Amino acid sequence: MKVKTEIYIINMLIINCLILSCKQHKMGNKIEADAVIEQKIDSLLSLMTLEEKIGQMTQVRHFDDISEGDIAAKFIGSVIHTQGPLPGESALDWQEKFSALQKQALSTRLGIPLLFGVDAVHGQNTYEGATLFPHNIGLGASRNADLVAKVAAITAIEAQATGFNWVFSPCIAIPYNEKWGRVYEAFSESTELTTQLARASIKGHQGNLLENHTVMATAKHFIGDGATDFGVEGGNTSLSMAHVHKRLLPPYRAAVEEGVGAIMASFNTLEGTSMHAHRPLITDTLKGAMQFDGIMVSDWKGYSRFGEADIINAGIDMVMAVDGDLEDYQEGLKKAVTEGVVAPGRIDDAVSRILRQKFRLGLFDNPFPDQGLVAKIGSPEHREVARQAVRESLVLLKNEANILPLSKDLSKILVVGEFGHNSGLQSGGWTIDWQGRKENYTGATTVLEGIQKLSKGEVIYDKDGTGDYEDADVAIVVVGETPYAEFFGDIGGEMDAYQHTLTETHQKYIDTYVTRGIKVVVVLISGRPLVTTRQIEQSNAFVAAWLPGSEGDGIAQVLFGEDDFKGKLPHSWPASEQDYAGKYGPNFWDKSITPLFPFGYGLSYQ
Binding site for ligand BGC (CB under 6 A): 82, 119, 168, 220, 299-300, 486
At closest approach, how far in Å is the CB of 605 from ligand BGC?
38
Task: Please provide the size of the chain in residues.
Answer: 606
**Is 486 a known active-site residue?**
yes
At closest approach, how far in Å is the CB of 150 from ligand BGC?
23
Nearer to ligand BGC, 322 or 518 (CB): 322
Q: Which phi and psi angles does 430 have, rounded to 5°?
A: 55, 40
Which residues contact residue 153 at a Cβ distance below 8 angstroms, ignoring those fewer than 6 apart?
A: 204, 205, 207, 214
Cα torsion angle, 249, 250, 253, 254, sign: negative
At closest approach, how far in Å is the CB of 490 from ligand BGC?
13
At closest approach, how far in Å is the CB of 220 from ligand BGC?
6
Bridge-based pairing of strands 541-544 and 273-274 is unpaired
Kind and range of the H or E element at 552? none
Nearer to ligand BGC, 299 or 481 (CB): 299
Expressed in angstroms, the distance from the first to the final Cα of the chain is: 76
SS3 218: strand
Which residues contact residue 82 at a Cβ distance below 8 angstroms, ignoring those fewer than 6 apart?
A: 61, 118, 119, 126, 434
Nearer to ligand BGC, 82 or 501 (CB): 82
Nearer to ligand BGC, 181 or 315 (CB): 181
Identified catalytic residue from 65, 225, 473, 486: 486
Q: Report the C-alpha dihedral over residues 87, 92, 97, 103, rounded to 10 degrees.
A: 160
Short-list 121, 125, 126, 150, CA closest to 137: 121
Burial class of 289 by CB neighbour count within 10 A (0 to 12, 13 to 18, 19+): exposed
At closest approach, how far in Å is the CB of 268 from ligand BGC?
11
DSSP secondary structure letter of residue 446: -
Nearer to ligand BGC, 275 or 575 (CB): 275
Nearer to ligand BGC, 486 or 553 (CB): 486
Nearer to ligand BGC, 268 or 423 (CB): 268
Number of C-beta neighbours around residue 308 at 10 A? 21
Identified catalytic residue from 189, 299, 418, 553: 299
Nearer to ligand BGC, 302 or 315 (CB): 302
CA atoms of 493 and 125, how far apart (whole Å): 26
Short-list 262, 496, 521, 531, CA closest to 402: 521
For residues 203 and 348, the answer to whether their CB atoms sit within 8 Å is no
At closest approach, how far in Å is the CB of 119 from ligand BGC?
5
DSSP secondary structure letter of residue 139: H
At closest approach, how far in Å is the CB of 181 from ligand BGC?
11
For residues 263 and 296, the answer to whether their CB atoms sit within 8 Å is yes
Nearer to ligand BGC, 168 or 565 (CB): 168
At closest approach, how far in Å is the CB of 95 from ligand BGC?
20
CA atoms of 298 and 266, how far apart (whole Å): 8
For residues 560 and 408, the answer to whether their CB atoms sit within 8 Å is yes
At closest approach, how far in Å is the CB of 556 from ligand BGC?
32
Burial per residue of 206-217, b for 16 or more beta-carbon CB atoms within 10 angstroms, e otherwise:
bbebbebbbbbb
So which residues are the catalytic ones? 299, 486
